[in-house]
Structure 1
Amino acid sequence: MFINVISFVAGAALLQWQRSLPDPYLLWLIPLLLIAFLRFTRARMPCALLLGFLWAAFDAHLGVRSALPPELYARDVTIRGTISSLPERHDRRVAFEFAVDELEYRQKLFPSPGLIKLNWYIDSEALQAGDRWRLTVRLKPPHGFMNPAGFDYEGWLFHQGIRAHGYVREDLQNRRLGEGAVRFRLHNVRQHIRSVIERQLQQGKTADLIKALVIGDRSGVGAADWESFRFTGTNHLIAISGLHITIIGGVAYYLVSAFWRRIPWLALRLAAPKAAALGALWAGAGYAALAGFSIPTQRALIMLSVVTAGIILQAQYKSSRSLGLALLMVVLLDPAAVLSPGFWLSFMAVAVICIAVSYRTGQRRILYSWVGMQWFIGLGLAPALLIWQQQVPLAAPLVNMLAVPLFSLLIIPLALSGTLVSLIWPIVGYIPLVAADWLLDIFRTMLALIAQFPLHVSAPPTLSFVEWTFVVVGIILLLLPRGVPGRVPGLILLLPLVLHAPASTPRPGEFQFTLLDVGQGMAAVVQTQGHTLVYDAGPAYSQDFDAGSDILVPFLLRRGITRVERLILSNGDNDHQGGVAGLIGKIRVDGVLSGEAWRVTETTASACTMGMSWIWDGVKFSILHPGPGESWRGNNASCVLQVENAAGSVLITGDIESAAEQRLVDCCRGALKASIITIPHHASATSSTEQFVRTVDPEFALASTGFLNRYGFPRAHIVERWEAQGARVLDTALSGAIAFVFSPVHGIVGPNNHRFRARRYWTHLPEMNRGSY
């Protein structure tokens, strides 16, 4: 059975790699394949694979059909529905999920997109989870940044069932309609519990962590804390998942069993193990409800249900059969679950534990067995962590050896009991909550100290599929019992992690230019054979997300780059230098130039001035603006950089406007001719004068903008002006990251548009229409 389940899951996973969905008519093969699976034993594996593929396709077709119609993009539409999540409080806004019942535009009803994500610039106290509202909103389809090594935000939203996102417009017609359906009342209860925790721990230091542990509300956990958890391999302790459901289920099983056995007439009617199993299931379901039945808790509850069913039915399931049943149920109910790293990590962790328990028996001391188990789990999860997190924290086994018992035996029971008692008797409930807060504060302090020395094994950026296969097989061999042949070859198969080919770099005289997709901002990377230059660091969107640490750093590391010789910041605006702190905090930067050096506060910067030039690996870099002694301010102070070799040149212009363009035409007319230009100031109406466009005369003109941004960039008449000059205009909002290779031998190779190259069936491929958002 287990191998057939694995085939079914593999089929569902295979569907997620498709760029487009199969024809819906193929879904009629599902009943035929099911009959073939039941009748022909030898054909079960391929039938299971195809069944998984088509079942996932069926689920995906349902999701794609509820997409927002293009004619409603960035339009004021009226929606009615229910707040279906905890409102998340941010600086000046509230974010929440909204289940749409009706969608109306110009007195015409459209099909509901289902679940959407909204921001509202309003006092959060006015919003209660579970309430129905009539709102005027502006929506757009799920559209994230598309960059090599970047997070697939669109895929994540698709997996969450969110089909659009936007914000609430100021409108006197916005009003509460009353309480929503019963199925949404749970979130209202969770919001009340959140208020109780916040009230009880007004002076506490870890209220945000306790809210994450009790009700699954992680919105208040800061980026610094998540970084510590990631570096120490303890992030699984904060997100309510299998471990937490298992802890509560186990405690409930023990308590119900002990109580049941003491009352004979109860034990006669229902055996204590069965009663305890039902109690464990109810307790696990209750904890999952507190977490809002999030997707990880749903997975954990399904696994607990399979175990409970085995106990009640007195079925003697092998561990592999129980794991297979749970795996099958999860993928049947949610085929897109295979997109989640948590799906694979949770099931792999259970599989590794089952393997360890199956042959590591005997009268060993508890401590010795616990230490061995942590090493076993760490080694077993290493391939998945290398693939999804690009690193394995070496401190994780040691830290988890102490942290798991601390959370299981003290922190989680104290936090839950304190919260539940506080609902009816706040004075008594305060004591365990404060105790949990005190323990969590100590734990967080210790993690922060350990995270200062982030010892980890990083995934090489150049491993091929075959080399990854060797690594996975090698780890499987190392997990074999002592005495079984194959453990030494397992070590040999791990050599690709050490003896791997260096990351691909340009040849002498070549350079690669990449304009990254950072939304409404700019960040570009120029790489020669031995040097790297970064032009602008993109915007900082919040305290927890900025283009430097979340877009630039993953891209550089994927390219095998750990050092940036020069960082140029065109000007001091947030959309160009907001990500500086995130970049320099994780990547070594040797020198910084800026058009407004006085506005750079994160590091020491020098002024960029016309006449500066240098040669790296046969590639020439020249600063063309500002001129010596000139005192430009704002957009026109932007550094203008020219990069050239025998194949052609790139002109990177920052935010310059018409005045700076005229100065460049007057002083550098002969040097302005370029193969590729980044369109000044995101193709605004105040830049790209006709004279400047004629002088540059590029083959490609690149705009760095946010999708449906509120400024309406790039302006249509500016795009037409560049196209009239013969340039092909590309926009990061439509194309994702855009890359070119300038080769003296092969000329200019590109463009490589990441949104099209890396697309999946859920990827939004926008049309070339524009509008402000």
Structure 2
Amino acid sequence: MRALGVLDQLLQFQRGDLFPWVPVLFGTGIGIFFSLRFEPGVAHYATGAAIGMGGWMLLRRGDRQDGAVFLGWAVLVVVTGFTVAGLRAQSVAAPVLSFRSYGPVEGRVIAIDRSSRDRLRITLDQLRLGQIAPGKTPERVRLSLPEGAKVPEIGVRVMTTAHLMPPQGPVEPHGFDFRRHAWFQKLGAVGYTRVPVLTIRPTSRGLAVDQLRQRLSGAIRSRMPRATGGFAAAITTGDRSGIPQSALEALRASNLAHLLAISGLHMGLLASFVFGGLRLLLALAPPLALRCEAKKIAAVGALLAASAYLALSGAQVASTRAYVMVAMMLGAVLLDRRALSLRAVAMAAMIILTLRPESLLGPGFQMSFAATTALIAVFGGIQGGVAARGPRWMQIAVGVLLSSLVAGAATAPFAAAHFNLLSHYGLLANVLAVPVMGLVVVPAAVLALCLAPIGAAAPGLWVMDLGIRWILFIANWVASLDGAQGAVHMPSAGVLPLIAIGGLFLILWRGRLRWYGLPVLFVAGLLWQGAQRPPVLIAPNGGIVGVMTEDGRTLSRAKGHGYAAERWAENDGSLRSQAEAAALWPYLQRGSPTLASLPGKTMSLQVGSPARTLIHVINKTAAEALIRCAAEDVIVSAKPLSPKGDCLVFDADALRHLGSVQMQSDGRWVSAQDVIGDRLWSRSGP
């Protein structure tokens, strides 16, 4: 009871400012759901309901202390978040391919994108897969197309012959889990084809908006050079498939890749341009302006424009968040209320987390809301201060500089944790590029869209091209500067939650206690700095092994299995290529009796304490010849093995169940299966 009294006193200073904590508590419930190593059953949800009932009882207390009420709501919201995440995971359940296959694939094209290796990909639904029974056929598959393949139309039914495999687990136990990502997209298989994709049936109904997006994207790219046309299509329709890989790399290196995401910047600029333009047009007609509320008419028009833009963009997390913010802002204009506040951000977060709880784990959600929350808090705190003094051009310059600095600082930890890269000159690039985006590119895009129905979009596209050329010039120039990029190693599991808690407490809490968020951030930084990378990493299929040495991680292969090699290098905070890493591998075949008897290609070195000989059996000849091993051997192979001896074996059969494996600094071996546990998305496939 005394604790409730203390909490009650603390909450006296927070009256009217507690609503932004609702999505924080809701997200906590979602985070608990995804952190479990087992799939919750009826008993667990029943326990959650009982806990929620306990929270309801606290709400019904007769004395109505603020502390009791807050605890009651907190319990209810956390349990609700947990339950919503569970319902979402169950609602998207669909068959997942459990083995590799090769054969005919037939389906309807529903999405087109481009991989990180610049390969065109298509996503298919309404599938027919060779001899696979309909009840076991995945709902969707994604295929990489051969180089130079013709891009099919959205909605057409196609057929090809393809290699398919289940979505793969993380390339290291604590890494990004693509299987979980694919589960929530109902993606039951991925693969590639080396033959043409044939259209067997024309465009079907039901994908009108996606078809419009594709036609609009194609029209834009056909009238502009490849680089600028791909950029223009990305910010107009969300289609990034036309952007050259070199342009993407330059934008990422200069911290300008966020300009490609249809987010608050684009949605806000579009709504502001339409809102201001309509008010100006109404003001030019005094009889009309005097008889109606021009401001509210302009708000309705801007809301309609933003709604259309959301539909065209594909309603991704960032664009949905931006739309909710814009809709609330324009709704506030219609109701004569305050337009922008942390309450609006909280409402947007609740909507997205309710519809897509899994987005909490993605960089898009984290970076988008981190930037928006920090910007509103900072600009709200300095309202009427230095940024509002001096001539108008100076206010704009200070605003752009400050917003770039604040947004960059707020998103930097999340970007570094997910992508392991830091752009050292990102502030410079944003100061030079963002104003052009707002003053040239977005207004020109609106002009082109308005004139397109009458076939007069050329002037708008020409102006867009000039603005985008400038942005790409800045991106390439900044990316070419010495030391433009730095690499950071992957943080431990608890670092990002601590950063989020510290930052949110610093922004949302009222009173001197908010400064306790700084020690939390400091502790998170120390934990990140002290995080140790695994001495040994084994890929999920056993095709490549990485061992940490004094000179960095060395790899057992110079070619092949590039995805795992790239992710390991990123997580290590290394910019070394796969070939450079492989050159560090020392050969120790002479000192190992096991290796001395093996023909074919093998690799080995000493790992752990006490030292053990790690042997990577690379080809089939060596795998078939391995019949004996020593107790001090750790053997890795992409082929099945059955050696006699007490050695530790990670072969194809073992890794099919374990997934990727790492050796800890204390010598323990931990697999992806140990970390993930028994979840819906880990029950099918390797």
- What is the TM-score of this pair, normalised by structure 2? 0.78
Equivalent residue letter for 1:722: P
Match of 1:200 in 2: 223
Secondary structure of 1:687's partner?
Answer: helix
- Compared CA separation, residues 411 and 536, structure 1 to 2 (3 A): farther
1:385 positional shift: 3.5
Amino acid of the structure 1 residue aligned with 2:349: L
Paired residue type of 1:444: L
Q: Could you tell me how far 1:473 is from its partner in structure 2?
A: 3.6
- The corresponding residue for 1:764 is 682
Cα 1:396–1:195 shift into 2, 3 Å: same
Residue matched to 2:659: 736
> Aligned to 2:613, which of 650, 661, 665?
650
Question: Aligned to 2:88, which of 54, 59, 62?
Answer: 59
Partner of 2:568: 552
1:247 corresponds in structure 2 to: 269
**CA distance in structure 1 between the partners assigned to 2:444 and 2:413 by the alignment:** 34
Q: Does 1:96 align with 2:122?
A: yes
User: Compared with structure 1, are the counterparts of its residues 644 and 48 closer, same or farther at alpha carbon in structure 2 (3 Å cutoff)?
Assistant: closer
Change over 3 Å in CA distance of 1:538–1:501 after alignment to 2: same
Residue of structure 2 equivalent to 1:238: 260
Structure 1 residues 348, 266: closer, same or farther in 2, change over 3 A? Answer: farther
Structure 1 unaligned blocks of 5 or more = 507-511, 565-578, 595-607, 612-619, 628-634, 653-677, 705-713, 744-748, 769-773
Q: CA deviation at 1:736?
A: 3.3
Q: Name the SS for the 1:12 alignment partner.
A: helix
Is residue 215 of structure 2 the alignment partner of residue 189 of structure 1? no
Alignment of 1:9-48 (within 5 A): 9-24=27-42, 27=45, 33=52, 40=60, 41-42=69-70, 43-48=72-77
Counterpart contact for 1:241–1:297, Cα < 8 Å: yes
Task: Report the CA distance shift for 1:37/1:113 in structure 2 as closer, same or farther (over 3 A).
Answer: farther
- Listed one character per residue, the Cα deviations across residues 349-405 of structure 1 (whole Å, up to 9, x for unaligned) are 221222123221224230334433333333333443444344553433333233221
Match of 2:389 in 1: 364
The alignment-based identity, stated in percent, is 18
Question: Within 5 A, what are the aligned runs for 1:483-632?
Answer: 490=518, 494=522, 497=525, 502=530, 504=532, 512-517=535-540, 521-527=543-549, 530=550, 532=552, 534-537=554-557, 539=559, 546-548=563-565, 550-557=566-573, 580=578
Q: Which residue of 1 aligns with 2:434?
A: 404
Tell me by how many angstroms 1:343 deviates.
Answer: 0.9
- Once the two structures are TM-superposed, the CA of residue 449 in structure 1 deviates from its matched residue by 2.8
- The one-letter code of the counterpart of 1:166 is G
- Aligned residue number for residue 166 of structure 1: 191
When residues 207 and 503 of structure 1 are mapped into structure 2, their CA distance, relative to the original with a 3 A threshold, is same
* CA distance in 2 between partners of 1:36 and 1:21 (Å): 24
Residue 604 of structure 2, aligned match among 622, 641, 652 = 641
Q: 1:140 to 1:264 in 2, by over 3 A?
A: farther
- In the alignment, which residue of structure 1 is the partner of 2:5? none
Matching of residues 120-519 of structure 1 within 5 Å: 120-121=145-146, 124-125=149-150, 127-133=152-158, 139-147=164-172, 150-167=175-192, 176-182=200-206, 184-202=207-225, 205-263=227-285, 271-316=293-338, 319-362=341-384, 363-365=388-390, 366=395, 367-390=397-420, 392-415=422-445, 417-418=447-448, 421=451, 424-425=454-455, 429-451=457-479, 452-454=481-483, 465=494, 469=498, 473=502, 490=518, 494=522, 497=525, 502=530, 504=532, 512-517=535-540
User: Do the aligned partners of 1:249 and 1:283 also contact (CA within 8 Å) in 2?
Assistant: yes
Distance 1:486 1:337, change over 3 A: closer
Q: Label 1:266 to 1:333 Cα distance change in 2 as closer, same or farther (>3 A).
A: farther
1:96 alignment partner AA: I
C-alpha contact (below 8 Å) 1:734/1:755 kept by paired residues: yes
Q: Which has the higher helix share?
A: 2
C-alpha distance after superposition, 1:708-751 (max 9, x if no partner): xxxxxx3xxx53x43799864434454333234698xxxxx443
Q: Distance in 1 between matches of 2:54 and 2:569?
A: 50
CA displacement 1:212-255 (0-9 Å, x = unmatched): 22222223434443343333322111222221111111111112
* Partners of 1:478 and 1:490 within 8 A in 2: no
Question: What code does the residue aligned with 2:660 have?
Answer: A
Query: 2:79 is matched with which residue?
Result: 50
User: In structure 2, the residue corresponding to 1:128 is in which secondary structure?
Assistant: coil
Tell me if the contact between 1:94 and 1:119 (Cα under 8 Å) persists in the aligned partners: yes
- Find the aligned partners of 1:551 and 1:89 in 2 and give their Cα distance: 15
CA deviations 1:499-537 (Å, max 9, x no partner) are: 98655489xxxxx443344x584242143xx45561335
Distance 1:423 1:609, change over 3 A: farther
- Once residues 2 and 97 of structure 1 are traced to their aligned partners in structure 2, the CA distance between those partners, rounded to angstroms, is 37
Distance 2:578 2:231 in 1: 28
**1:8-27 CA-partner distances (Å, limit 9, x unpaired):** 12212322222333114655
What amino acid is the match of 2:299? A
1:84 aligned counterpart, secondary structure? strand
Decide whether aligned partners of structure 1 residues 639 and 53 sit closer, same or farther in structure 2, where only a CA change above 3 A counts.
closer
Instruction: Give the conservation status (yes or no) of the 8 Å contact 1:525–1:533.
Output: yes
| Greater RCO (Cα-Cα under 8 Å, separation 6 or more) | 2
CA distance, structure 2, for counterparts of residue 443 and residue 592 of structure 1: 39
- Of residues 640-649 and 253-262 in structure 1, the stretch that sits farther from structure 2 once superposed is 640-649
Output one character per residue of 1:420-454: Cα deviation in whole Å (capped at 9) or x when no partner. 646753xx544443443344333323323323334
Decide whether the 8 Å contact of 2:235 with 2:261 is kept in 1.
Answer: yes
CA distance in 1, matches of 2:135, 2:536: 43
The residue type paired with residue 297 of structure 1 is S
Deviation readout 1:555-594 (Å, 9 max, x if unpaired): 433xxxx699xxxxxxxxxxxxxx536x56xxxx9x6579
Equivalent residues in 2 for 1:71-82 (5 A)? Answer: 74=101, 76=103, 79-80=106-107, 82=108
Alpha-carbon separation, structure 1, partners of 2:485 and 2:504 = 17
2-structure distance, mates of 1:25, 1:210: 51
Conserved in 2, the CA contact under 8 Å of 1:139 and 1:166?
Answer: yes
Q: 1:37 to 1:120 in 2, by over 3 A?
A: farther
- In structure 2, the residue matched to 1:86 is 112
CA contact (8 A) 1:87 1:129 kept: no
Q: Distance in 2 between matches of 1:262 and 1:525?
A: 71
**Offset of 1:283 from its aligned partner?**
1.4
Match of 2:635 in 1: 701
Once residues 478 and 30 of structure 1 are traced to their aligned partners in structure 2, the CA distance between those partners, rounded to angstroms, is: 30
Quote the offset at 1:180 in angstroms. 1.7
Cα distance, 1:488 vs structure 2: 12
Task: Read off the aligned partner of 1:4 and give its amino acid letter.
Answer: V
Matched residue pairs, number?
646
Amino acid at match of 1:74: S
| CA distance in 2: counterparts of 1:476 and 1:207, whole angstroms | 43
Contact kept in structure 1, 2:588 and 2:605, CA below 8 Å: no
User: Any conservation in 1 of the 2:114–2:240 contact (CA below 8 Å)?
Assistant: no
- Cα contact 1:349–1:377 (8 A) shared by 2: yes
Are 2:490 and 2:571, in contact at CA under 8 Å, matched by a contact in 1?
Answer: no
Letter in 2 for 1:368: V
Which residue in the other structure is 1:664 paired with?
A: none
Deviation at 1:767, TM superposition (A): 6.6
Q: What one-letter code is carried by the residue in structure 2 that aligns with 1:177?
A: R
What residue in structure 2 maps to residue 605 of structure 1? none
